[in-house]
Structure 1
Amino acid sequence: MSSSPLSPDESPLDVLIVGAGLSGIGTAVWLQNECPGKRYAILEARQTLGGTWDLFRYPGIRSDSDMYTLGYAFKPWLNARAIADGPSIRQYIEETAHEYGILPHIRFGHKVVGASWASTDALWTVAVVDVATGVTQPMKTRFLYMCSGYYSYDHPHRPTFAGEADFKGPIILPQFWPRDVSYAGKRVVVIGSGATAMTLVPAMAQTAEHVTMVQRSPTYVVAMPGEDAVAQRIRQLLPERLAYRLIRLKNMVQRVVVFWIARQWPKLAKKQLVQLVREELGLNYDVDKHFSPRYNPWDQRVCLVPDGDLFGTIRAGKASVVTDEIERFTADGLQLKSGEHVPADVVVMATGLTIQLFGGMAFTVDGKVHQTSELMAYKGMMLSDVPNLAIAFGYTNASWTLKTDLTASYVCRLLRYMDRHGYTTVVPRRQPDVEPRPFLDFTSGYVQRGAHLLPQQGSRRPWQVYQNYLKDLFTIRFGRLNDGVLHFGKSQN
């Protein structure tokens, strides 16, 4: 897709959206539908829309939650596959952009590198770099909406190991999958135990001689049907949109209940999850070693494998799991600390993401620079003492879009409220008696590595970040806007 240059007549905008991925496109549709008079633009640093679903092109790339909840509330997911592949998700986002006329509002190849708020005119001045030319231009907007994701597109987490230079084959990062790599008939090692590794192993095992997943410690893994039989039956019986809403509700409630049970009775949940794997792999497989984590369920995300494809490849002898630590690379594989040597012709480093909010930029408010880590999140979607700004940040235990849809709906309600009362500014003011807490109560490696980059949450509402859609539904969609924490103002100009 081509890049459209910025033009002076676009300033000041009513809303500037940063990022044309799943969140950004969805936010634009909400804005058009709920605030049709608002002038907006979307800035996207890359030359295509889709975000994560365009960036990742590794074999088997797919959703790790069902598409009835990862899809938008306003656009039914009609594909039979509930756990969808990357190209299908990218097509869904593109269809949405075309269907709702979003494309003319997107400026591709434009990267936001800074944002400065001035209370005197109640405007953000955003520094925007034209990626093709390197030229930086200012852009003004009344409201800034960050939909740029939470991880670095340029720098995945990439640990180094002794002896890498000795290895004769390619070492591949999934985030930058090369188009010309061939692994057919070869021995492949995938380093990692997260969703990316769980996806790569069965996909690569289709043509590789053998795939070995080398993990330092186990992850909870559960098989899930690729197609939702109940959802398909509901779609046969009810009109399209009504069926979609009912399926979304079913899946949302199911996720909330399962998560609640796992948190209330972690030992029981762990026993059940491990037993399900044992039923897949048989009594002779060492499930306790390879699929029984040291942590409780949902201390880290539980990996879904559609139709149990990972387990199927293990049963077929096409893939295996090794739980050990890597001592060094050798010319033809990995030497492990236990003394075992794992042969390899190709090594894939599925070692995780690097957290980076807002492309690493800081916000300046009336000359004062605010680092994100010093701020507190209001309802998980605005930042303390930063005016006229919203962030799209989804759930870690459910579909990302459930929260970003709620956030977009709330922001639209907020903008309409401000228009009715003649307000030009809104800012959450941090309360001194609210104690800081980590933004994410999650022990995953990428969260722990990047915890110092995330904002804080608070010890009580409205500063708490719920990982619960039903709680958020009531506090965000139906809660009072003028709650004493949000402070509204009128421009002096």
Structure 2
Amino acid sequence: MGAEQSTFTASKADTDVLIVGAGISGIGMAAHMKMLCPDRSFAIVERRSQIGGTWDLFRYPGVRSDSDMHTLGFVFEPWKHEKSIADGPSILDYLNRIADERDIRRHIRFDSKVVSADFDSAAGYWVVTLEGKDGQRSRVTAGWLYLGSGYYDYDKPYEAHFDGREDFKGEIVHPQFWPENLDYTGKQVVVIGSGATAVTIVPSMADKAAHVTMLQRTPTWYVTRPAKDAIANFLRKFLPEETAYRITRFKNVKLQNLFFKRARTRPDKVAAFLTKRLKSLLGDKYDEKAFTPPYNPWEQRLCLVPDADLFEAIKAGKASVVTDRIERFDATGIQLQSGKHLDADVIVTATGLKMVMAGKIAISVDGLPVDFADRYYYKGAMFSNVPNLAAVFGYLNASWTLRADINARYICDVLNAMKSRGMEVAVPKLAPNHHLDEDNIYDFSSGYIERARHLLPKSASDMRWRLNQDYVRDVTWMRDDPIEDGVLQFSHPRPATAHKAHMAAAE
């Protein structure tokens, strides 16, 4: 290292990279660091008492992936189960195995919630405040902050307002906080909602309940596929595990990408295809009103129905779909605007998630709060004029893990480039007079996105300044585009006063 270069070492900060969250994104980043940056230290802080994130939090009946595990699984770790549409416990087993086999668990600090993080420009690291289960606060410093904290509020789901809620004499449950010993055997159940969660819960509860009604305001587009991937299981018989997994992953990524693009270019054709498939599955139980959405396929995320389980429950008379609006709850169920009444012993409000940005952490730079809605994404991983910070926000039209893998690989490449240059700070620079054209990459009408648009970072048409939604293009572009692209600037720590002046000019 030359005399002019910094002598900054890991001893200046408690750790090189602090990973927030021990779910898919956090475990994936840790594994990538083990492989690609073995000389860098890292720690994971997790607010819960065990790993898994979403897959540890959700305990509702039938909880499963809504993507195939050959793409929801990591690029570096084959999915070995026979079922490619996996249940929650299987996904947890997968994550726990990776954490143990790759010696990641000892790096995790459980029951530690990140409250705030301030980047100290003079020191060149983040000062992070943690809160333990007992409410006690502590401080840790880290060269980089990697947010694998997901996209929704763990504390508060989205609860739609229903008049008369307090009048209902039965039990009301939100899937995010499922009671451990809820007994619905032989009971009348109404599930409010028609998204991925409702579509999972309805056939699962139908096994024990007297009847389950899915009450929807708006129909949803459904796609069915076998829970077991026959091609994947065939390949595994004759090929090494890693090879079979790589081929299946490639197949599934390509097919999904083609189907999404077809839905955008010929929505009428895709709608006709999905409708024809649904009619063949439901036969005389097909109800046009219940299964004809007022929007095109992939204007909202398609709901996956493995082994057509929802439709089998409907055909068996164990479940039904009602399309109506709620007038109010009453003592015995739900009064609908049409005048009909749905009797219920249990009401499940599968009304959606509440989105948050950066895990509700108070992020600041030299004491100046960062409002992510004022920032542009940089390569779907970092943010304009925010140093040494990366986050994972998965694809809206594909598996979350595809982006988690890309971002983890990219940040490891950035860390290695910084080390080779002897630099400690990396920031995507965007001038105040940038003239970027803002582009709506959230071109989806899903409720959880509509409700959170005011929180979300900006995207431009320029590939460097967007959260792009095309994995097939992204994976090649992120690998081939130079790290030092004229936007990402490496530097040494500098006095806070100078950085404050720069940040104020960049706003």
- TM-score bracket, shorter-length normalisation: over 0.9
- C-alpha distance in 2 between matches for 1:109 and 1:323: 42
Compared with structure 1, are the counterparts of its residues 9 and 480 closer, same or farther at alpha carbon in structure 2 (3 Å cutoff)?
A: closer
Q: Does the aligned pair in 2 maintain the 1:439–1:454 contact within 8 Å?
A: no
* TM value normalised by structure 1: 0.96
Q: Does the aligned pair in 2 maintain the 1:67–1:82 contact within 8 Å?
A: yes
Compared with structure 1, are the counterparts of its residues 439 and 374 closer, same or farther at alpha carbon in structure 2 (3 Å cutoff)?
A: farther
Where 1:291 maps in the other structure, the secondary structure is coil
Aligned-residue offset at 1:492: 5.2
- C-alpha distance in 1 between matches for 2:361 and 2:136: 18
When structure 1 is superposed on structure 2, of 85-94 and 466-475 the one drifting more is 466-475
- C-alpha distance in 1 between matches for 2:355 and 2:466: 20
Aligned to 2:170: 169
Aligned-residue offset at 1:441: 2.0
Aligned to 2:203: 202
Compared with structure 1, are the counterparts of its residues 308 and 10 closer, same or farther at alpha carbon in structure 2 (3 Å cutoff)?
A: farther
Where 1:129 maps in the other structure, the secondary structure is strand
- C-alpha distance in 2 between matches for 1:211 and 1:176: 19
Cα deviation 1:53-84 (Å, max 9, x = unaligned): 00000000000010011011111100000100
Aligned-residue offset at 1:120: 1.2
Aligned to 1:367: 367
- C-alpha distance in 2 between matches for 1:173 and 1:464: 34
Aligned to 1:418: 418
1:55-204 map, 5 Å: 55-130=57-132, 132-204=133-205
Where 1:282 maps in the other structure, the secondary structure is helix
Aligned-residue offset at 1:459: 2.6
Aligned-residue offset at 1:439: 5.0
1:302-317 map, 5 Å: 302-317=302-317
Aligned to 1:239: 240
Aligned-residue offset at 1:10: 9.5
Aligned-residue offset at 1:358: 2.0
Selected match of 1:442 from 441, 444, 448? 444
- C-alpha distance in 1 between matches for 2:28 and 2:88: 17
Aligned-residue offset at 1:181: 1.1
- C-alpha distance in 2 between matches for 1:492 and 1:419: 18
Where 2:294 maps in the other structure, the secondary structure is coil
Aligned-residue offset at 1:430: 2.2
Aligned-residue offset at 1:12: 2.6
Q: Does the aligned pair in 2 maintain the 1:110–1:129 contact within 8 Å?
A: yes
1:223-302 map, 5 Å: 223-283=224-284, 285-286=286-287, 288-302=288-302
Aligned to 2:319: 319
Aligned to 2:478: 476
Compared with structure 1, are the counterparts of its residues 10 and 337 closer, same or farther at alpha carbon in structure 2 (3 Å cutoff)?
A: farther
Where 2:486 maps in the other structure, the secondary structure is coil
* 1:35 aligned partner, one-letter code: C
Cα deviation 1:68-127 (Å, max 9, x = unaligned): 110111111000001000010011111110110111100001111111112111111111
- C-alpha distance in 2 between matches for 1:248 and 1:10: 41
Q: Does the aligned pair in 1 maintain the 2:32–2:409 contact within 8 Å?
A: yes
Cα deviation 1:265-313 (Å, max 9, x = unaligned): 1111111111211111115521x21111111111110000110000000
Aligned to 1:5: none
- C-alpha distance in 1 between matches for 2:244 and 2:451: 41
* 1:391 aligned partner, one-letter code: A
- C-alpha distance in 2 between matches for 1:148 and 1:155: 15
* 1:218 aligned partner, one-letter code: P
Aligned-residue offset at 1:137: 1.5
Aligned-residue offset at 1:469: 1.0
Aligned-residue offset at 1:361: 2.4
Aligned to 2:5: none
Q: Does the aligned pair in 2 maintain the 1:300–1:442 contact within 8 Å?
A: yes
- C-alpha distance in 1 between matches for 2:228 and 2:281: 19
1:37 is aligned to 2:34? no
When structure 1 is superposed on structure 2, of 112-121 and 43-52 the one drifting more is 112-121
* 1:359 aligned partner, one-letter code: G
* 2:350 aligned partner, one-letter code: A
Aligned-residue offset at 1:246: 0.8
* 1:276 aligned partner, one-letter code: R
When structure 1 is superposed on structure 2, of 454-463 and 83-92 the one drifting more is 454-463
Percent same amino acid at aligned positions?
49
Compared with structure 1, are the counterparts of its residues 61 and 414 closer, same or farther at alpha carbon in structure 2 (3 Å cutoff)?
A: same
Aligned to 2:492: 490
- C-alpha distance in 1 between matches for 2:448 and 2:65: 18
- C-alpha distance in 2 between matches for 1:264 and 1:208: 42
Q: Does the aligned pair in 2 maintain the 1:376–1:436 contact within 8 Å?
A: no
Aligned-residue offset at 1:9: 8.0
- C-alpha distance in 2 between matches for 1:45 and 1:458: 33
Aligned-residue offset at 1:437: 3.1
Q: Does the aligned pair in 1 maintain the 2:71–2:249 contact within 8 Å?
A: yes
Q: Does the aligned pair in 2 maintain the 1:439–1:455 contact within 8 Å?
A: no
* 2:471 aligned partner, one-letter code: Y
- C-alpha distance in 2 between matches for 1:223 and 1:106: 38
Where 2:334 maps in the other structure, the secondary structure is strand
* 1:269 aligned partner, one-letter code: V
Aligned to 2:399: 399
* 1:37 aligned partner, one-letter code: D
- C-alpha distance in 1 between matches for 2:436 and 2:68: 36
Aligned-residue offset at 1:23: 1.0
Where 2:327 maps in the other structure, the secondary structure is strand
Give structure 1 stretches of 5+ with no counterpart: 1-7
- C-alpha distance in 2 between matches for 1:115 and 1:153: 19
- C-alpha distance in 2 between matches for 1:145 and 1:44: 12
When structure 1 is superposed on structure 2, of 147-156 and 229-238 the one drifting more is 229-238
- C-alpha distance in 2 between matches for 1:467 and 1:435: 17
Aligned-residue offset at 1:464: 2.2
Q: CA RMSD in A?
A: 1.4
Aligned-residue offset at 1:491: 3.1
Cα deviation 1:410-448 (Å, max 9, x = unaligned): 111111011001111111122511122345222100010
- C-alpha distance in 2 between matches for 1:364 and 1:23: 22
* TM value normalised by structure 2: 0.93
Aligned to 1:18: 20
- C-alpha distance in 1 between matches for 2:171 and 2:452: 28
When structure 1 is superposed on structure 2, of 366-375 and 8-17 the one drifting more is 8-17
Cα deviation 1:166-187 (Å, max 9, x = unaligned): 2110000110000121100000
Aligned to 1:3: none
* 1:236 aligned partner, one-letter code: K
